[in-house]
Structure 1
Amino acid sequence: MAERGRPRCFDREAALYKAMDVFWRNGYEGASLAQLTEAMGINSPSLYATFGSKEDLYKEAVEQYDANEGAEINASLSADTDIRTALYNVMRITAEYFSDPDKPAGCMVLLSALNCTPENASVAQHMCDLRKRSTNLLRQRLLRAQQSGEIAASANIEQLTAFMTSVRQGMSIQARDGADRDVLMGIANATLIAWDALCSAPPTSA
């Protein structure tokens, strides 16, 4: 049987979505070239000619993921709403996206390159930078809420940022382990209860 080449009517975006799904399910190192080419419907030379290296393909797939899956969360943080509503929307969207039965469970950015061998350190660092960027968006939103008086001046924004980030990361792992939407929404609701307590409690020393 002849090896798959690049189809005459090759759909680059569709192929990228297929690659994204493979990386999302298997992680960067767990996704083999055979799995990628099979899912994308092309052979290895065509993959390299179109997307560059496996790392280049992965980074582009992550950009596609972030543009799609991250857009609504980013919009919630940027929306002209009170901070509690913004955070509730972030947690609700997180629960819905991470448990979508039509997609791999959890977050691709959080799960697909946590543990990489030294030769793939640049991939791990790239993903770390993306996670830090997401954390900074949340931090900036909390700072704006503090400046507008929605959050007490005595509140520790770094602690609040770390708390909310840790919960979302934990929800991703819970989803990958099989937690359904109801479970994740329970976590989201409990987080908002904890948020109210944290914002009303006196500041603690670092």
Structure 2
Amino acid sequence: MPGGRPRAFDADNALDRALEVFWRHGYEGTSLADLTAAMGINKPSLYAVFGNKEQLFGKVLARYLEGPGAYAADALAAPTGREVIERLIRGAVDLTAGETTPHGCLCVNSVHACGPDAHAVRQDAIAVRKAGEAALRRRLEQADDLPSRYEPAALAALVHTISDGLAVQAAAGRSPDELRQIGELALCALLTEGPHHIE
């Protein structure tokens, strides 16, 4: 057949379905059978278009960062340091406790729930998180409206730790209302002026 056989599926839609499966079940909890069923393709088509499971996950991770996880990069463009942090923590709640998406965070799940056989996938997720934290640190270094007690590197690490905790709590079944309350308490603690001494 001239030009080859036309592709019988929408690759972008198939990638979105793979994202949902990985997000819901984690890398190691997702089988090729789960993926092909959700994506509506067979194994040869999966390999031909997306590569093996590890390569497919890399594509899914990029799509996650450009789609559901894009709030994090967008937050860095906020005009003040306080607003950056507010958007990040509130965005983490919205992402991890969404009504139409799996609970938890794809990156957090991939860092904490991958064994030795998935070392490369875990390292990719760790690299993504380190890059995000470094970008936040650089943005906070430019801010002049945050409590003076914070070093930008420590504050960036703290914000990421809070976001991770929200994701874990969401995956464990905390309700969206509970997570929003936790997020607002965290923001109040982070952004309120006054002495905060660690002995």
Match of 1:167 in 2: 162
Match of 2:32 in 1: 33
Whether 1:50 aligns to 2:49 is yes
Q: What does 1:25-174 align with in structure 2 at a 5 Å threshold?
A: 25-79=24-78, 81-145=79-143, 149-151=144-146, 155-174=150-169
**TM-score, normalized by length of structure 1?**
0.86
CA displacement at 1:184 relative to structure 2: 1.3
Distance 1:97 1:120 in 2: 25
Query: Given that residues 76 and 136 in structure 2 are in contact (C-alpha distance below 8 angstroms), is that contact kept between their aligned partners in structure 1?
Result: yes
CA displacement at 1:61 relative to structure 2: 0.5
Gaps of 5+ in 1: 1-5
SS in 2 for 1:128: helix
Distance 2:157 2:29 in 1: 29
Query: Given that residues 110 and 122 in structure 2 are in contact (C-alpha distance below 8 angstroms), is that contact kept between their aligned partners in structure 1?
Result: no
CA displacement at 1:194 relative to structure 2: 0.9
Sequence identity (%): 35
**Change over 3 Å in CA distance of 1:179–1:187 after alignment to 2:** same
Deviations 1:87-110 (A, max 9, x none): 112212211121111110011111
CA displacement at 1:32 relative to structure 2: 0.4
Match of 2:10 in 1: 11
Distance 1:185 1:16 in 2: 30
SS in 1 for 2:126: helix
Distance 1:115 1:65 in 2: 18
CA displacement at 1:203 relative to structure 2: 6.8
Query: Given that residues 111 and 123 in structure 2 are in contact (C-alpha distance below 8 angstroms), is that contact kept between their aligned partners in structure 1?
Result: no
Distance 2:141 2:153 in 1: 9
Query: Given that residues 175 and 184 in structure 1 are in contact (C-alpha distance below 8 angstroms), is that contact kept between their aligned partners in structure 2?
Result: yes
Gaps of 5+ in 2: none
Match of 1:3 in 2: none
Aligned partner letter, 1:194: A
CA displacement at 1:115 relative to structure 2: 3.1
The 10-residue stretch of structure 1 (34-43 or 118-127) with the greater mean CA deviation from structure 2: 118-127
Distance 1:113 1:202 in 2: 31
The 10-residue stretch of structure 1 (102-111 or 113-122) with the greater mean CA deviation from structure 2: 113-122
**TM-score, normalized by length of structure 2?**
0.89
